[in-house]
Chains A and B, each alone.
Chain A
Amino acid sequence: MLRNASDSWGAPAKLFHWVMAALILAQIALGLMAANWRLSPTKIELFFWHKSTGMLILALVALRLLWRLANPTPLLPPGMAAWERAAARLSHLLLYALMIALPVTGWIVNSASNVPFRIFWLIPLPAIVAPDEPTADLVAWVHGGLAALLALVLVAHIGAALRHHFVKRDTVLERMLPGAWRAP
């Protein structure tokens, strides 16, 4: 039940999926609010939670990738067209890439803007680039672009999961749901 099988996800994989899904949705909302809020203590609070959550996501995605590599990945259902398989692979690859690239670009922005920051008030975040305002502005713009791309891929991901369930009537969505569901 812990490890993945060729037709099912183990509990850790499901936990990673749903915890990170919730964090990522919260993160997009926090990021949008933080960026657009007028300068005030609330804006600083929003950024604080956005940055802390981002670093948490980066740590989780590292563990999640290790877990994924150490486990079999459940197979896609038979009968999918080649383009569907390619789209599934590409979107999953993009999701992982963005789960890394978004926190890393955010980290660069924080370093370049030279704002002191401790993750959840606890862990000081070391700078990964030297303070430089043009770098901060440029990478903030890239960060926003990547977030927009993530939103698009998420729409495709959720749409595809619903299509698997309601149109193709296979088990792709169900087997990611929490609980003891197993392929019959």
Chain B
Amino acid sequence: MKRIVPLLALCGLLAFAPRPAQGADWKMDPAGSKLEFIATFEKTAAPGEFREFDARLRFDPDKPAGSRLDVTVKVTSADMNVADVNKEIRGKDWFDYAAFPQAEFRSTDLRRIEGNRYVARGTLLLKGVKQPVEVPFSWTASAGGAVMEGELTVKRGAFGIGTGEWAETNVIGADVKVKFKVKLRKAG
């Protein structure tokens, strides 16, 4: 009886001790996922897509604190639908495939805005440049999985995408819209 009191006290302490929310681990289903980027060309939308990327997520939609999001993008899988453009964007002035074949987004700060809308604040590493980026997304749960979807605008100049004479933004606009749809299923 004497020994059981401290044990109960310990249990009580453990029950109320603050601990990080342990959300579920999610893996991306590439077949249902899409990562698009829409540049502008003479003030006209010029759509492109990164065909290969991966997202890993630890996330509880009800307790987003303690979540994390890691996205890796194979930059060399970029496809802008025009053969000549695809040749050009490989070069040093644009994505520089040889030196920077991969881009990454990491966030450990995911918050709910309202309802099913969230924002992931993190760091985007692209072409060797790290910049803070906010990625807003919606979360839609479905049977055995979920879909996160969203879009944001990135300034290409901040990452040195289009250097030298291409830095001017009359012909190729400064803003690039990034749109994503990531289909997730629970890992493990």
Expressed in whole angstroms, the minimum distance between the Cβ of B60 and any Cβ of chain A is: 41
Q: Is B82 an interface residue (CB 8 A)?
A: yes
Of residues A41, A124, A131, which shows the largest number of chain B Cβ atoms within 10 Å of its Cβ?
A: A41
The residue from B82, B88, B165, B171 contacting A115, defined by CB atoms under 8 A apart: B82
Of residues A39, A48, A113, A115, which shows the largest number of chain B Cβ atoms within 10 Å of its Cβ?
A: A115
State whether A118 touches B43 (Cβ < 8 A): yes
Q: Sort A-B residue pairs by CB-CB distance and give the 3 closest, nearest first.
A: A41-B171, A116-B44, A118-B44
Expressed in whole angstroms, the minimum distance between the Cβ of A44 and any Cβ of chain B is: 5
State whether B41 touches A44 (Cβ < 8 A): yes
Q: B interface, by DSSP: helix, strand, loop or mixed?
A: mixed
State whether A45 touches B88 (Cβ < 8 A): no
In the complex, how many residue pairs between chain A and chain B have their CB atoms under 8 Å apart? 41
The residue of chain B having its C-beta at the shortest distance from the C-beta of A121 within the complex is B43
On A, residues with C-beta under 8 Å from B are 39-41, 44-45, 48, 113-118, 121, 124, 131, 133
Q: Is B13 an interface residue (CB 8 A)?
A: no
The residue of chain B having its C-beta at the shortest distance from the C-beta of A39 within the complex is B88
Q: Which residues of B contact A39 (CB under 8 A)?
A: 88
Bound complex: CA of A114 vs CA of B46, how far in Å?
A: 10
The 19 sampled A-B contact pairs (Cβ below 8 Å) are: A41-B165, A41-B170, A41-B172, A44-B42, A44-B172, A45-B171, A48-B171, A113-B83, A113-B84, A114-B82, A115-B82, A116-B42, A116-B45, A116-B47, A117-B42, A117-B44, A118-B44, A131-B81, A133-B83
Expressed in whole angstroms, the minimum distance between the Cβ of B156 and any Cβ of chain A is: 14
| Chain B residues numbered 1-50 whose CB sits less than 8 Å from any CB in chain A | 41-47
The residue of chain A having its C-beta at the shortest distance from the C-beta of B42 within the complex is A48
